[in-house]
């Protein structure tokens, strides 16, 4: 850089892989300085949880998409891997950056990285600018007298709504000038994508990672599925939800873009107002779980209710494996687990059913399920995943009551009444009639034979009897109440 060229502004991309409604990018671009855009894959700073396999696949696609968008806007994306505070400092110093811009990630480890960065850059006389993060509201805005957030969703949501609508989303900068870019890692060298074997075929078929894919998913949802969301969102056999969660996880779209687009749709079509309210409250659960994580950084490993610390979990490697592979003998559970494996996602209702089955029918520690989801979900989220697992297990905030043991047969019959969801993911049961598809062991030998099903051969018999599993779970949960 010559002494006359303007000092660049460094934009540090984090969980916000988009150009529109990116407050840090917008602020940096508005200075008129050339931009140095950087992404750091930081899995080494204290408390950073390395991505699971499916998320790594998503991240690779998302970064490629961001590289294309930035290049169309006139600049590059520099990729680096390692401890973010040290890397951003080094890049800012060597590029003679005037300032560093980024959006807040409201977790304790991410804030600690920023604190370290602030110290390092202050010593060099480089300013930092932190902007509104990827939540509807920063955790600090919803605190009780004890300095912590509400532990129950409804008061949390009321507090959030009382803050008023989040700010209007910002447009993407149309053209930016690029600062000379230092050397970048090659994305392929990070080996984020599976190769031997390449198990990502199902993911490629289902998803379009990146900002354009996120906007398309939102538009499609608002055009085609929002009407009826409040009642249909529990139906895994229907395309009734937004499928925005992985896009949100990587910040390819912001919650406030979703908020305003949904409110706009409701203003144009008042009949869908109740559906929009329900949809936005679901979005609120994401903020709620992040806030739980903010208050309890060990959410992934520690029971929120310590009375569960002596819970009599069972060690049962074979049952865990049957659950992971979708071979429990309960069709709705197996369909969910296979949907997860094939597509990197699972319908929310079915997530609750399979999670309940693992922790209650099988009495396997929720942490095993959380870790499996973490590795296989494209939307694996550091707050929502453990937060929901703890909720289902009964040890979390606002937890499901201990005596609620989902009946996988009734859940299947109620939410997949024709068995279409099961048929899609458990093809060996596809020819069973709807009346018995959720409990094939009750079928007559003739019904099984004409559907080509041989229990114990091409589809397992139930690995645990529902009634006995339920009673065993209630007995185990009774010990917690004694604690």
Q: Which residues are catalytic?
A: 282, 285, 313, 348, 366, 389
Should residue 389 be labelled a site residue for ligand FAD when binding is judged by CB under 6 A?
yes
Tokens linked to 345: 């996602």
CA distance 321 to 62: 31
Which residue do the tokens 């018999």 mark?
461
Should residue 83 be labelled a site residue for ligand FAD when binding is judged by CB under 6 A?
no
Should residue 359 be labelled a site residue for ligand FAD when binding is judged by CB under 6 A?
no
* Residue 430, marked binder: no
* Residue 138, marked binder: no
Whether 479 contacts 312, CB under 8 Å = yes
Should residue 86 be labelled a site residue for ligand FAD when binding is judged by CB under 6 A?
no
Residue 409 has phi, psi (to 5 degrees) of -75, -50
Tokens linked to 371: 């870790």
Q: Comparing C-alpha atoms, which of 8, 27, 6 is closest to residue 16?
A: 27
Candidates 43-51, 207-215, 302-310, 382-390; binding stretch for ligand FAD (CB under 6 A): 382-390
What does the radius of gyration of the chain's CA atoms come to, in whole angstroms?
Answer: 24
Should residue 360 be labelled a site residue for ligand FAD when binding is judged by CB under 6 A?
no
> Residue from 59, 214, 377, 453 that binds ligand FAD (CB under 6 A)?
377
Should residue 253 be labelled a site residue for ligand FAD when binding is judged by CB under 6 A?
no
> Residue from 79, 200, 392, 426 that binds ligand FAD (CB under 6 A)?
392
Listed in sequence order, the residues at least 6 apart from 152 whose beta carbon sits closer than 8 Å to its beta carbon are 397, 398
Nearer to ligand FAD, 269 or 371 (CB): 371
> Residue from 20, 103, 388, 411 that binds ligand FAD (CB under 6 A)?
388
Which residue do the tokens 């905030």 mark?
397
Q: Comparing C-alpha atoms, which of 433, 461, 426, 430 is closest to residue 447?
A: 433
Nearer to ligand FAD, 223 or 465 (CB): 223
Should residue 65 be labelled a site residue for ligand FAD when binding is judged by CB under 6 A?
no
Whether 245 contacts 345, CB under 8 Å = yes
Tell me which residues in 209-248 interact with ligand FAD (CB under 6 A). 233, 241-245, 248
Tell me which residues in 280-339 interact with ligand FAD (CB under 6 A). 282-283, 285-286, 289
How many residues of this chain bind ligand FAD (CB under 6 A)?
A: 27
- Prior bond to 197 cis, omega within 30? yes
Should residue 110 be labelled a site residue for ligand FAD when binding is judged by CB under 6 A?
no
> Residue from 95, 324, 384, 390 that binds ligand FAD (CB under 6 A)?
384
Q: Comparing C-alpha atoms, which of 335, 361, 338, 330 is closest to residue 441?
A: 330
Should residue 153 be labelled a site residue for ligand FAD when binding is judged by CB under 6 A?
no
Residue 131 has phi, psi (to 5 degrees) of -120, 170
Should residue 355 be labelled a site residue for ligand FAD when binding is judged by CB under 6 A?
yes
Candidates 9-17, 163-171, 311-319, 379-387; binding stretch for ligand FAD (CB under 6 A): 379-387
Nearer to ligand FAD, 200 or 354 (CB): 354
> Residue 277: which H helix or E strand, with range?
helix 273-295
Nearer to ligand FAD, 69 or 245 (CB): 245
* Residue 229, marked binder: yes
- Minimum distance between the CB of residue 88 and ligand FAD, rounded to whole angstroms? 27
Tokens linked to 398: 């606002």
- Minimum distance between the CB of residue 90 and ligand FAD, rounded to whole angstroms? 33
Q: In what order do the strands lie in the sheet with 99-103?
A: 77-81, 35-41, 9-13, 99-103, 127-131
Candidates 109-117, 138-146, 308-316, 374-382; binding stretch for ligand FAD (CB under 6 A): 374-382
CA distance 273 to 294: 31
Candidates 8-16, 18-26, 383-391, 413-421; binding stretch for ligand FAD (CB under 6 A): 383-391
Listed in sequence order, the residues at least 6 apart from 444 whose beta carbon sits closer than 8 Å to its beta carbon are none
* Residue 241, marked binder: yes
Q: Comparing C-alpha atoms, which of 22, 287, 12 is closest to residue 135?
A: 287
Nearer to ligand FAD, 24 or 355 (CB): 355
Tokens linked to 338: 């296979």
| C-alpha distances in Å from residue 462, one per residue of 176, 474, 475 | 60, 19, 21
Should residue 151 be labelled a site residue for ligand FAD when binding is judged by CB under 6 A?
no
Angle between helix axes 317-325 and 366-376 (nearest 10 degrees) is 40
Binding residues for FAD: 229, 241-245, 279, 379-381
Residues near ligand FAD (CB under 6 A) are 233, 241-245, 248-249, 282-283, 285-286, 289, 348, 351-352, 355, 373, 377, 379-381, 384-385, 388-389, 392
Binding residues: 229, 241-245, 279, 379-381
């Amino acid at each position: 850089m010559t002494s006359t060229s303007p000092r660049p502004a460094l934009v540090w991309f984090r969980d916000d892989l988009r150009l529109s409604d990116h407050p840090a990018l917008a602020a940096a671009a508005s200075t008129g300085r050339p931009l140095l855009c950087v992404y750091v894959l930081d899995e080494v700073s204290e408390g950073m949880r390395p991505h699971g396999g499916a998320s790594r696949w998503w991240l690779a696609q998302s970064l490629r998409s961001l590289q294309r968008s930035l290049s169309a806007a006139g600049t590059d994306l520099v990729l680096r891997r390692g401890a973010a505070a040290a890397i951003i400092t080094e890049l800012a110093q060597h590029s003679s950056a005037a300032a560093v811009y980024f959006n807040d990630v409201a977790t304790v480890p991410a804030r600690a990285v920023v604190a370290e960065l602030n110290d390092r850059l202050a010593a060099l006389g480089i300013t930092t600018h932190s902007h509104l993060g990827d939540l509807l509201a920063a955790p600090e805005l919803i605190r009780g007298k004890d300095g912590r957030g509400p532990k129950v969703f409804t008061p949390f949501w009321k507090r959030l709504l009382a803050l008023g609508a989040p700010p209007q989303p910002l447009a993407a900068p149309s053209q930016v000038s690029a600062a000379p870019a230092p050397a970048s890692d090659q994305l392929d060298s990070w080996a984020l994508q599976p190769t031997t074997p390449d198990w990502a075929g199902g993911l490629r078929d289902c998803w379009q990672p990146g900002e354009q894919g996120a906007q398309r998913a939102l538009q499609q949802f608002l055009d085609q599925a929002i009407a009826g969301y409040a009642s249909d969102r529990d139906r895994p056999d229907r395309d009734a939800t937004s499928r925005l969660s992985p896009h949100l996880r990587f910040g390819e779209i912001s919650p406030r873009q979703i908020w305003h687009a949904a409110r706009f749709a409701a203003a144009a079509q008042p009949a869908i107002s109740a559906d929009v309210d329900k949809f936005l409250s679901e979005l609120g659960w994401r903020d709620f779980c992040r806030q739980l994580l903010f208050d309890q950084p060990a959410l992934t490993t520690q029971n929120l209710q310590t009375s569960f610390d002596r819970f009599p979990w069972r060690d049962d490697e074979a049952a865990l494996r049957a659950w992971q592979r979708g071979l429990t003998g309960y069709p709705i559970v197996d369909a969910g687990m296979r949907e997860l494996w094939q597509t990197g996602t699972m319908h929310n209702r079915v997530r609750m059913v399979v999670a309940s089955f693992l922790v209650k029918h099988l009495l396997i520690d929720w942490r095993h399920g959380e870790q499996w989801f973490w590795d296989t979900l494209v939307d694996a989220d550091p707050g929502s995943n453990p937060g929901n697992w703890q909720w289902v297990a009964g040890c979390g905030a606002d937890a499901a009551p201990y005596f609620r043991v989902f009946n996988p047969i009734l859940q299947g019959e109620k939410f997949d009444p024709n068995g279409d969801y099961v048929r899609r993911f458990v093809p060996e049961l596809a020819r069973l009639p709807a009346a018995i598809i959720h409990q094939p062991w009750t079928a007559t030998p003739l019904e099984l034979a004409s559907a080509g099903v041989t229990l114990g051969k091409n589809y397992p018999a139930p690995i645990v009897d529902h009634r006995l599993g339920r009673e065993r779970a209630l007995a185990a949960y009774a010990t917690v109440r004694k604690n």
